[in-house]
Structure 1
């Protein structure tokens, strides 16, 4: 049995795999004590699986905080983990060729080759626009629960256009629109369109190839999904639990290390401390044409 832990900027997620099945997942807010966050998420996943940490053969970490946890045996770049998860999870429509991931603080798009391996990617880390944090802040300004934001924009007749990509300026713009008594439906639809255009332009830079796999917490927002589909002219497939896909990808890496007896870069597993962080393999995504 193996586990993957994704230490994201906002949430820490864990997934446990046994016999090539996801048997447990866990999600907890990311806190300053990364070891505690990782332990909480992993503990939740193990409890769901009816197992304990002693049952694990290996744990691999990924995400922003992947270097800061002692309970991981190895670590892997989150781009690589996302690509592995998309290939493994697949879709009912055929092989995945494009991955869109909207995280708490960044957004990523990945293109997979015909074999399902990572070809290239783009990543936005410079601006919160087009991220989960942007949606969270807009929901706060509107006084709407984040989990309800997705459906509010449905049926909007005149979606607003947000001219600001900066999250602070966009907040001011939304406040002004509220003061102008613009319908909330139109404002929310405009917010979703803003995110879709920001992320969709990244997708168009690497080329839209179906099947398009949409993951990350905001993938549960039906308004963002619809806006992206309209912008790209392609249907998006959302996996069952889009927030934990990177953790699943990390667990798949752990499974493969055990099966093959070597790290993903070909280094032999023999002689590597099983209770220490990885020596530090970052995965092929360290190149890959990202920015």
Structure 2
């Protein structure tokens, strides 16, 4: 048994290679106490949860963390994480919108809005009004979304049959290869020649195939590249069913994986629009922006 296979089949170490970096941020140049309207978006997904604060229609801060055992606690913990940083209390927030997998279980939300609408709205803010086609690669599903220049959804397709080709699938490969998840994308390009995509990205079969490739002499980097290529091909087939327009934008945690993103771009022949904002908060950001719009409408009455 060669070293690569032995490492992948050995008893798993205590280290959780799949664990991505949780993140909290806020705009230190602004004071939330100066805002007239403060709204919050809570995106409770199957893998991650985000709380985003918007002050007078502008992104102020967010907290992104792993989803816990239940949606209500995940929502509370996500929001508490950013409120603790800035000295805010729940009663300081004017309106809360829940979205994502657990949107109906956000106990303090005033309204629940689908993640498709929220990702479109968030992508419009993050990528500008040129965004027309959005790929949301979440923890357990993929969505292809068309929107107009205001971030309103005009069409969408969804593939949620299993965790294959999603964030959770990449976490499984990370643990199998015993390589930190943040390193998978860059390492997928450290190969002499681009390998063929694995034939199946069903998590169960992909693990078996990955071990088979290691036994056949593939390096870990080659296996990772083959899996990234398979993920890219899978989502591109979804995008091609709905049609890809100029103004292509990717949201979700997988958007941080260049091994998948660059292969998607190569297959489509289109570069994604860039943003400096964390792609993982798009849904919660869109929810907070919807909350701001609703508050404005109430004030205008």
Q: Same fold (TM over 0.5)?
A: yes
Q: Does residue 1:112 correspond to 2:160, yes or no?
A: no
Aligned equivalent of 2:261: 225
- Stretches of structure 1 that go unaligned for 5 or more consecutive residues are 263-268, 271-291
CA RMSD of aligned residues (A): 1.8
Aligned equivalent of 2:21: none
Q: Find the residue that maps to 2:96 and give its secondary structure.
A: strand
- Stretches of structure 2 that go unaligned for 5 or more consecutive residues are 1-37
Q: Find the residue that maps to 1:261 and give its secondary structure.
A: helix
Q: Counterparts of 2:181 and 2:107 in 1: how far apart (Å)? A: 33
Alignment equivalent of 2:207, drawn from 168, 171, 174 = 171
Q: How many residues align?
A: 262
Alignment equivalent of 1:207, drawn from 243, 248, 255 = 243
Q: Counterparts of 1:88 and 1:242 in 2: how far apart (Å)? A: 11
Alignment equivalent of 2:170, drawn from 126, 135, 144 = 135
Q: Does residue 1:255 correspond to 2:297, yes or no?
A: no
Q: Find the residue that maps to 2:296 and give its secondary structure.
A: helix
> After TM superposition, what 4+ stretches of structure 1 lie above 6 angstroms from structure 2?
none
Q: Does residue 1:54 correspond to 2:91, yes or no?
A: yes
Q: Counterparts of 1:179 and 1:238 in 2: how far apart (Å)? A: 39
| Mapped contact 1:219–1:238 kept (Cα < 8 A) | no
With 140-149 and 245-254 compared, the bigger mean Cα shift is at 140-149
Alignment equivalent of 1:184, drawn from 204, 220, 227 = 220
| Mapped contact 2:201–2:231 kept (Cα < 8 A) | no
Give 1:49 deviation, angstroms.
4.1
Aligned equivalent of 1:265: none
Q: Counterparts of 1:49 and 1:200 in 2: how far apart (Å)? A: 41
Q: Counterparts of 1:12 and 1:145 in 2: how far apart (Å)? A: 20
Aligned equivalent of 1:160: 196
Q: Does residue 1:83 correspond to 2:120, yes or no?
A: yes
Q: Counterparts of 1:137 and 1:38 in 2: how far apart (Å)? A: 25
